[in-house]
């Protein structure tokens, strides 16, 4: 063992072998070189971040480590010992655990059943389940990973499901834990809790590899960070010795504007006037409790808030497709004309005809049809437009030509309109949706989570386009859970909590701390702006339920 | 309708539900593992033919049963190759198996026996005999319990008892064993099984093999116990009724028992009263025969609780990150 340790070489002068060492790993999928000669050293008992844009090869590398793919060449050392990882079983035995971005849980199984799956102790379940129950209790105490072992997965929140994935790895006695984009699906509070858990794991001597494209997470929690770009490992540094700007530059290979450059807003007449909007969903839960605000031409109103506080319902309602069975009241005027919120004249097509473009929060479900081609997707929602039709028939040539032009203008990569939407990366899928909605030049753009799961290059691009639309005198309603995004894009910020707008702030005159308090439902009556946006019944905030389902 | 008639109808229902129950449980194993199987009908038909042929030639019902299982397993293997190994469409593969069995049985039957696609009638040991349970005769005269025991419970072939025993056994396997846990997991989310280091392919092959064996027993029962020999298209849609029962039972073994009993009972009533006179209206037997399908449509429409199929059902597993 000690001889092995010497061989693997302590770069930082430590005698202990690295938890993971990769030497010259390469992997190609057909003509695409996903990993090129990767070298990586992950020290024991550290949190090691791997950062890179979508498609930089991070997930491929980790899949190799977990035995999902076989590398074309290169060597893997675990705890200083060379190891050929042919399948997940080998990786598990070597003490490697993986928490995938999309959880690998059986939805209608209990937590306990999910945990023992594949590592049962014998042919019969009862003893395994009893043992797992004991171990789980112990792990829960040790790492604050509390989950009810008898709850089924589908009843758990996403954050708790992720805990089950971590528990699964720990139950398999993983010493090295790989987390692939763990915060992509979490609310900020859940993400914070996850980080506390990871810190606890590190304190117990576990090694953690954190794959992400969020710079803030890297800076907040990692000890070391490695940067990947286009399949190559471009840098490995100590987190304390670097800065977000440096990392961002390494990731994209050029300077990025983390702050959006924009001129002060020149607001004009009110485009959208929302008054006392209320929505009760089909389960009887009040999702919107009297929302009022205006958006004027040439301004971006940002709606901040923890997800699940009514933003989704607001967007869907304005977009023309509130959830079935919802009861709606209140009024919305668009360019001075009343919108039909409930009747037969309320659907997405009619909203679009009235000049409302909508980039939905979940592009893969609401924004795109994943198996359809890019050019078809670029026409959706506007496929009745006269220029896309010849009499009764669709004019596919015209649609395709239009789509190709948009794809070119939005720098969608690869620039191939015949590819299915599924085959584009997250950022490029989003560009397709944004191109479709912005290029129609809507008077009002509703845009939800514009950059969720999108790489930095595309974020910058999408932000620029949103600002351009504003500068062209259009109104934008931006909903995002990313405070940085809200702060850098918005001309005014409204914070939603529990179906209400807790307050409005100007981005230059507020802090993340103040917004954070509002997002948590804590308000200071003295600071409440006197604008038309605030309903009068906000005084008894302490009576409001604290959390949201 | 007197007590004896009721017992007779129930007795008939038990005989008629047996192939449905076996096929339904066969489908349960396959579909709970994520492989849809509309080839139950074809597998049963093939098994009925091979069982009858071998039983006739050897004079042994037991060798017939083995042959039935072999015939059905061969088709299961084709289904597995097409839909698991080569990731083809499971429905198309199932349809192909039904056509294959339908044509092949008649062709081979005519070629071998020259009787227009049927096998010669089976006699003696070439058929499964009825088993009289202990004390059946002694208890026959006890009121109520006597006829139920002697007529209804006693006096069936071994395969009937086997089919009924499969219900608790299947429940136990699914819910109490490692294999069952993995089987259910692979039908719900194969990626969870794969990332746990367990082979999805091997599990699914195991499931369709069990499916093949049970369909084989069902087919052998039809040809060597319920009837005496193979007749062209003798399954007569039972494979589809079994599928309907599987949906009706929401893919659960005890419910499968209930569903197949209901469908067996409907068939028994239709057989006994071709035109059921209810005083006001007369129900034709065609309606009774169609009832299983009508009930299934009602179930699928969501009137009696929702029937949620295994989530990964029908989709070949492709490894993804």
**Structure confidence at residue A7 (pLDDT):** 39
Residue B252 domain flag:
no
Residue B98 lies in a domain: yes
Question: Do A336 and A401 sit in the same domain of this protein?
Answer: no
Predicted pLDDT of residue A285: 77
Kindly state whether residues A13 and A92 are assigned to the same domain.
yes
Q: Are residues A381 and A465 in the same domain?
A: no
Count CB neighbours of A33 within 10 A. Answer: 16
Domain boundary among A421, A441, A461: A441
Which residues is A75 bridged to in the sheet?
A23
Q: Is there a domain that residue A165 lies in? A: yes
pLDDT at A459: 86
Chain A: give the shortest CA distance to residue B80, in Å: 23
The sign of the dihedral angle between the CA atoms of A358, A361, A365, A370 is positive
Look at residue A363 and tell me if it is in a domain: no
Nearest CA-CA partner of A18 in A62, A79, A65, A74:
A79
Q: Is B71 contained in some domain? A: yes
pLDDT, mean of residues B102-117: 92
- Note the pLDDT of residue A527: 44
Same domain, A213 and A291: no
Q: Is residue A331 part of a domain?
A: yes
**Domain shared by A215 and A278, yes or no:** no
Residue B173 inside a domain? The answer is yes
Q: Which residue on chain A is closest to B189 by alpha carbon?
A: A106
Co-location of A205 and A279 in the same domain: no
CB contact residues (below 8 A), chain A span 127-186, against chain B: 128
Same domain, A374 and A491: no
Q: Is A88 domain-assigned?
A: yes
Distance (Å) of CA B288 to CA A327, B14, B255, B266: 45, 17, 21, 6
B-chain CB neighbours of A92 within 8 Å are 196-197
**Does A434 share its domain with A475?**
no
Residue where one domain finishes, among candidates A409, A426, A441: A441
Task: Report yes or no on B109 lying in a domain.
Answer: yes
Residues A32 and A133 occupy one common structural domain: yes
Looking at the domain assignment, is residue A377 inside a domain? yes
User: In this structure, what is the dihedral angle of CA atoms A490, A491, A496, A500, given to the nearest 10 degrees?
Assistant: -150
Last residue of a domain, one of A252, A281, A305: A252
User: What is the spatial distance between Cα A545 and Cα A483, in angstroms, rounded to a whole number?
Assistant: 23
pTM of the model: 0.72
Q: What are phi and psi of A15, to 5 degrees?
A: -85, -25
Instruction: Please tell me the distance from the alpha carbon of residue A266 to that of residue A291, in angstroms, as a whole number.
Output: 24
Q: Does residue A385 share a domain with residue A325?
A: no
Q: Is residue B135 part of a domain?
A: yes
Q: In chain A, which residues have their Cβ closer than 8 Å to the Cβ of B180?
A: 125
Contact A88 B319 (CB under 8 A): no
Its domain, for residue A195, covers 2-252
Amino acid B294: pLDDT: 84
**What are the residues of chain B with a beta carbon less than 8 Å away from any beta carbon of chain A?**
175-182, 184-185, 188-189, 191-198, 311, 319, 321
**Domains contained in chain A, number:** 3
Looking at the fold, whether A280 and A216 belong to one and the same domain comes out as no
Give the angle A458-A461-A467 at the CA atoms, nearest 5°.
140
Reported as half-sphere exposure (CB side, CA atoms, 13 A), residue B166 has a value of: 28
Q: Which residues span the domain enclosing B142?
A: 3-238
Cβ pair B179:A128 closer than 8 A: no
Nearest beta carbon to residue A104 from set B175, B189, B311: B189
Q: Tens digit of pLDDT for each residue in B25-77?
A: 999 999 999 999 999 999 999 999 999 999 999 999 999 999 999 999 999 99
Q: Is the domain of A291 the same as that of A374?
A: no
Per-residue pLDDT of B94-107, as tens digits, reads 999 999 999 999 99
Chain A residues with beta carbon closer than 8 angstroms to that of B182: 117-118
CATH code assigned at A465? 3.40.50.300
Within 13 Å, how many C-alpha atoms sit on residue A65's CB side? 32
Contact criterion met (CB < 8 Å) for B189 and A100: no
List the beta strands (DSSP E) in A67-162. Answer: 73-78, 81-82, 96-99
Series of mean pLDDT values for 10-residue runs along chain A (549 residues): 39 68 88 85 95 79 89 93 89 92 90 94 93 93 88 89 92 93 79 91 94 84 91 91 80 61 88 94 83 95 84 91 87 90 78 90 87 92 88 91 92 87 85 92 93 79 92 94 84 91 90 78 53 38 37
Q: Torsions phi, psi of A471, nearest 5? A: -65, -20
Give chain B's domain count.
1
Measured CA to CA, the distance from residue B6 to residue A510 in angstroms comes to 82
Question: In this complex, how many residue pairs, one in chain A and one in chain B, have their CB atoms less than 8 Å apart?
Answer: 75
**ipTM greater than 0.90:** no
Residue B271 covered by a domain: no
| CA–CA gap between residue A453 and residue A102 (Å, rounded) | 13
Let me know if residue A101 belongs to a domain.
Answer: yes
Cβ-nearest to A106 among B178, B192, B321? B192
Judging contacts by C-beta atoms under 8 Å, the chain B residues touching residue A59 are: 321
């Amino acid at each position: 063992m000690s001889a092995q340790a010497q061989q693997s070489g302590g770069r930082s002068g430590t005698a202990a072998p690295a938890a993971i060492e990769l030497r010259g790993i390469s992997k190609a999928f057909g003509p695409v070189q996903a990993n090129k000669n990767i070298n990586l050293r992950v020290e024991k008992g550290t949190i090691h971040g791997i950062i890179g844009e979508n498609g930089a090869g991070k997930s491929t590398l980790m899949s190799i480590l977990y035995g999902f793919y076989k590398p074309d060449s290169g060597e893997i050392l675990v705890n200083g010992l060379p190891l050929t990882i042919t399948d997940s079983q080998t990786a598990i035995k070597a003490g490697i655990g993986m928490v995938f971005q999309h959880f690998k849980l059986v939805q209608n199984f209990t937590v306990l059943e999910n945990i023992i799956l594949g590592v049962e102790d014998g042919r019969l379940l009862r003893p395994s389940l009893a043992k797992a129950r004991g171990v789980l209790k112990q792990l829960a105490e040790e790492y604050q990973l509390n989950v009810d072992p008898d709850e089924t997965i589908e009843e758990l929140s996403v954050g708790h499901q992720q805990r089950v994935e971590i528990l699964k790895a720990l139950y398999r006695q993983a010493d090295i834990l790989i987390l692939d984009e763990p915060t992509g699906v979490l609310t900020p509070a859940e993400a914070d809790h996850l980080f506390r858990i990871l810190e606890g794991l590190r304190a117990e001597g576990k090694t953690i590899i954190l794959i992400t494209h969020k710079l803030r997470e890297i800076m907040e929690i990692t000890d070391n960070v490695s940067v990947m770009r286009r399949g190559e490992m471009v840098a490995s540094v100590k987190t304390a010795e670097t800065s977000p700007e440096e990392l961002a530059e390494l990731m994209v290979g050029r300077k990025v504007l983390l702050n959006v450059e924009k001129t002060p807003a020149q607001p004009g007449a009110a485009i959208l006037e929302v008054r006392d909007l209320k929505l009760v969903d089909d389960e009887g839960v009040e999702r919107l409790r009297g929302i009022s605000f205006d958006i004027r031409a040439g301004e971006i109103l940002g709606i901040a808030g923890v997800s699940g506080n009514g933003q989704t319902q607001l967007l869907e309602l304005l977009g023309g497709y509130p959830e079935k069975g919802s009861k709606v009241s209140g009024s919305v005027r668009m360019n001075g004309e009343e919108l039909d919120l409930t009747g037969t004249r309320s659907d997405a097509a009619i909203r679009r005809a009235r000049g409302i473009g909508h980039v939905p929060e979940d592009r893969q479900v609401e924004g795109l049809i994943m198996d359809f081609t890019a050019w078809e997707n670029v026409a959706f929602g506007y496929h009745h437009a006269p220029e896309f039709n010849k009499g009764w028939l669709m004019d596919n040539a015209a649609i395709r030509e239009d789509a190709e032009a948009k794809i070119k203008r939005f720098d969608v990569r690869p620039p191939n309109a015949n590819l299915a939407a599924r085959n584009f990366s997250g950022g490029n899928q989003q560009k397709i949706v944004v191109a479709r909605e912005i290029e129609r030049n809507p008077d009002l753009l509703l845009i939800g989570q514009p950059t969720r799961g999108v790489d930095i290059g595309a974020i910058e691009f999408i932000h620029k386009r949103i600002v351009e639309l504003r500068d062209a005198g259009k109104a934008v309603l931006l909903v995002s859970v990313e405070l940085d995004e809200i702060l850098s894009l918005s001309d005014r910020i409204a914070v939603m909590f529990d179906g209400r707008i807790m307050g409005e702030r100007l981005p230059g005159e507020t802090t993340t701390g103040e917004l954070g308090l509002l997002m948590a439902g804590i308000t200071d009556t003295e600071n409440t702006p006197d604008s038309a946006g605030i309903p009068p019944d906000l005084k008894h905030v302490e009576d409001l339920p604290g959390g949201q389902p | 309708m007197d007590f004896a008639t009721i017992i007779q109808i129930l007795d008939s229902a038990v005989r008629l539900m047996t192939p449905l129950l076996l096929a339904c449980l066969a489908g349960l194993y396959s579909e709970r593992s994520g492989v849809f199987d509309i080839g139950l009908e074809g597998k049963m038909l093939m098994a009925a033919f091979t069982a009858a042929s071998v039983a006739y030639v050897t004079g042994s019902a037991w060798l017939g049963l083995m042959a039935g299982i072999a015939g059905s397993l061969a088709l299961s293997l084709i289904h597995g190759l097409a839909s698991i190994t080569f990731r083809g469409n499971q429905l198309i593969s199932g349809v192909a198996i039904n056509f294959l069995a339908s044509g092949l049985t008649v062709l081979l039957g005519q070629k071998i026996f020259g009787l227009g696609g049927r096998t010669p009638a089976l006699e003696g040991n070439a058929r499964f005999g009825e088993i009289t349970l202990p004390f059946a005769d002694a208890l026959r005269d006890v009121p109520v319990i006597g006829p139920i025991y002697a007529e209804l419970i006693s006096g069936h072939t071994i395969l009937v008892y086997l089919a009924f025993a499969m219900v608790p056994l299947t429940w136990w396997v699914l819910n109490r064993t490692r294999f069952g846990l993995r089987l259910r997991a692979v039908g719900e989310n194969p990626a969870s099984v794969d990332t746990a280091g367990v082979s999805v392919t091997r599990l699914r092959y195991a499931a369709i093999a069990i499916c093949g064996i049970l369909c084989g027993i069902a087919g052998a029962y039809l040809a060597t116990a319920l009837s005496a020999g193979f007749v062209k298209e003798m399954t007569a849609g039972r494979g589809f009724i079994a599928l309907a029962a599987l949906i009706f039972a929401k893919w659960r073994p005890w419910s499968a028992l209930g569903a197949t009993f209901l469908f067996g009972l409907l068939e028994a009533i239709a057989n006994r009263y071709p035109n059921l006179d209810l005083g006001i209206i007369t129900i034709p037997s065609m309606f009774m025969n169609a009832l299983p399908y009508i009930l299934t449509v009602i179930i699928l429409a969501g009137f009696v609780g929702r029937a949620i199929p295994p989530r990964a059902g029908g989709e070949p597993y492709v490894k993804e990150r």
